[in-house]
Amino acid sequence: MKFKIMESNLIQPIKFNGPDEFDEFLEKNCSKFLEETGGRKLYRGVRNPIGDTFIGTPRKNRRPKDTPKEIHDSLDDFFDQTFGWNARSEGLFTTGSRRFASTYGLVYEIYPLGEYRFLWAPKIRDLYIRIEEKFESSQHAFDKDPTEDEIYAFCDDVVSEYRDDNLEKAIESGNEIMIDCNKYIAKILGA
């Protein structure tokens, strides 16, 4: 194996000498995940591909690209109070659906390294879509200026739908799964 550390320190390309070496790496470093998923895989769409395989470090201070900051911060507060972590700022966004992942970019298989935790909601495919449905107007997304009470009620309601158990079922759902881990390995689909 050969590592090359990128400037950002968030991505380390890695090269394996064949699929057996990759499988051995997974067995050694992802045994908890492999056991809990029953052979099912997580996927993530990547807009700017890094290479065939890399080790990534999830950002711990993710800022929302499209979600209004007030809603993002409130959701983080509710997730932290309920599950003990800021899922929207710290989570690595994945799914059990290759097709859904492909809408975000080139599809990679994702394997958390070592300990991890996760959140998912059986009826929420993508939380951003739920936010958009609640707060957009017919003319432009987020034209409505929600009150603090509306944001609070929305976040309280939405976070109550989330679970932190049954990863197999989460993957089968094809819905968004937020992963909290220190590092993960990503392998381009088909590599």
What residue segments make up the domains of the chain, in order of their start?
2-188
- Euclidean distance between the first and the last CA atom of the chain, given in angstroms as a whole number: 16
CA pair distance 39, 141, nearest whole angstrom: 39
Report the amino acid identity of residue 70: E
CB atoms within 10 A of CB 172: 13
The strand pair at 11-15 and 2-3 is best described as antiparallel
What is the spatial distance between Cα 126 and Cα 2, in angstroms, rounded to a whole number?
36
Please report, for residues 43, 61, 76, 91, 189, the alpha-carbon distance to residue 79 in angstroms, rounded to integers and kept in the order given: 23, 15, 5, 11, 31
- Max intra-chain CA distance, the chain: 56
5 DSSP 8-state letter: -
Angle, CA of 107, 89 and 11, to the nearest 5°: 45
Q: What is the mean pLDDT of residues 60-64?
A: 87
Question: Quick one: pLDDT at residue 10?
Answer: 77
Provide the whole-model pTM.
0.89
pLDDT bucket at 189, cuts 50 / 70 / 90: confident
Radius of gyration of the chain (CA): 17
Q: Across the chain, what does the average pLDDT equal?
A: 89
Residue 27 pLDDT: 94
List, as one string, the DSSP characters of 5-28: --TTSSEEEEE-SSHHHHHHHHHH
Tell me the per-residue pLDDT of 96-114, one tens digit each, with 9 for 90 and over.
Answer: 999 999 999 999 999 999 9
Query: Cβ distance 82 to 119 under 8 Å?
Result: no
Residues 174/97, Cβ–Cβ less than 8 Å? yes
Paired residues of 116 in beta bridges: 181
What digits encode the pLDDT tens for the residues 4-50? 333 345 788 999 998 899 999 999 999 999 999 988 999 999 988 78
CB 114 within 8 A of CB 183: yes
Number of C-alpha atoms within 13 angstroms, CB side, residue 141? 9
